[in-house]
């Protein structure tokens, strides 16, 4: 089986999927069968960039010391992963970026495994971003602040959850030195967003059309939210100076929920 598949087809009938948001992918985490975008970084040369036919490595506005290279010493599955290093500060940001396949439309699921060398700090950081065509090409960002996972909208700096003590308590704090499975769905048709961490959905990272105090009330204060992401980026961007070394593996985007596998 090829380690990188770029398929424009939806999952075939009978592949183990259930209807709606309960859709289940039957393959283990390393599988790339019948998804729109998949990479486990096994085919790239260690020490070099990820597959240039799929990923473009760089950073917007300015570039510094950030690096994104294939690592043959740490992997979630197989032998290789994508290693990202940053000495901290915005201009030392670095991302591996790929277009979101048009076949996914406005409702799609993502899944990736991430490993942090150090815990998330108190300052604002981003490790996954998607440029939003419906928000002046500004980013929809998944990262952290106050040591928890959070979503952030670049255009108005709104967060999910609200960064109050009650909101912070509804998210999770990834442990350093371990692989974590992050799943998400963005539904641009309905303005809904969900996030799962190592299996269960995270209550504090849920967006729908009804404001929930301490969760998406700030996010929805601007009015209706209908995102249209056009790219998918994994890496590191720190706005308060936190350096980080982190790894990504088994990255996939699909019309159906992919899940973490066994």
- Within a domain: 229: yes
- Asked if the model's pLDDT at residue 16 lies above 80, the reply is no
- Within a domain: 262: no
Q: Find tokens 């704090």 and name the residue.
A: 173
- Asked if the model's pLDDT at residue 7 lies above 50, the reply is no
- Asked if the model's pLDDT at residue 4 lies above 70, the reply is no
Assigned token pair, 1: 């089986």
- Within a domain: 70: yes
- Given this model, what pLDDT does residue 18 score? 27
pLDDT tens for each residue of 226-247:
999 999 999 999 999 999 999 9
| 211: CB partners within 8 A, 6+ apart | 217, 220, 221
> What is the extent of the structural domain holding 55?
4-254
- Within a domain: 144: yes
CATH of residue 247's domain is 2.60.120.200
Q: What is the pTM of this model?
A: 0.88
Q: Find tokens 């690592």 and name the residue.
A: 71
- Within a domain: 64: yes
Whether 143 contacts 128, CB under 8 Å: yes
pLDDT tens for each residue of 107-138:
999 999 999 999 999 999 999 999 999 999 99
Cis peptide before 161 (omega within 30 of 0): yes
Residue 5 half-sphere exposure, CB side, CA atoms within 13 Å?
A: 18
pLDDT tens for each residue of 28-41:
555 566 789 999 99
- Within a domain: 210: yes
Domain count, the chain: 1
- Within a domain: 216: yes
């Amino acid at each position: 089986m090829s380690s990188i598949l770029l398929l424009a087809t939806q999952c075939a009938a009978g592949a183990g999927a259930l209807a709606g948001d309960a859709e289940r992918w039957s393959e283990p985490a390393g599988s790339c069968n019948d998804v729109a975008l998949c990479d486990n970084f096994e085919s790239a040369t260690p020490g070099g960039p990820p597959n240039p036919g799929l990923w473009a490595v760089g950073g917007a506005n300015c570039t510094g010391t950030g690096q994104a290279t294939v690592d043959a010493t740490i992997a979630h599955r197989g032998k290789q992963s994508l290693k990202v290093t940053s000495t901290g500060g915005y201009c030392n940001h670095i991302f591996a970026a790929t277009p979101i396949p048009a076949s996914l439309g406005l409702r799609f699921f993502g899944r990736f495994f991430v490993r942090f060398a150090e815990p998330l700090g108190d300052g604002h950081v981003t490790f996954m971003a998607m440029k939003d065509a419906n928000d002046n090409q500004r980013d929809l960002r998944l990262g952290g602040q106050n040591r928890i996972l959070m979503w952030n909208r670049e255009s108005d700096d709104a967060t999910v959850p609200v960064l109050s003590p009650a909101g912070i308590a509804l998210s999770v704090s990834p442990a350093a030195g371990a692989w974590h499975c992050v799943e998400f769905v963005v539904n641009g048709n309905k303005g809904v967003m969900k996030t799962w961490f190592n299996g269960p959905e995270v209550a504090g990272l849920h967006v729908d059309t009804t404001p929930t105090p301490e969760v998406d009330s700030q996010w929805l204060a601007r009015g209706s939210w209908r995102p249209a992401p056009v790219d998918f980026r994994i890496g590191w961007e720190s706005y308060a100076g936190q350096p980080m070394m982190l790894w990504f593996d088994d990255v996939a985007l699909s019309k159906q929920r992919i899940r973490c596998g066994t």
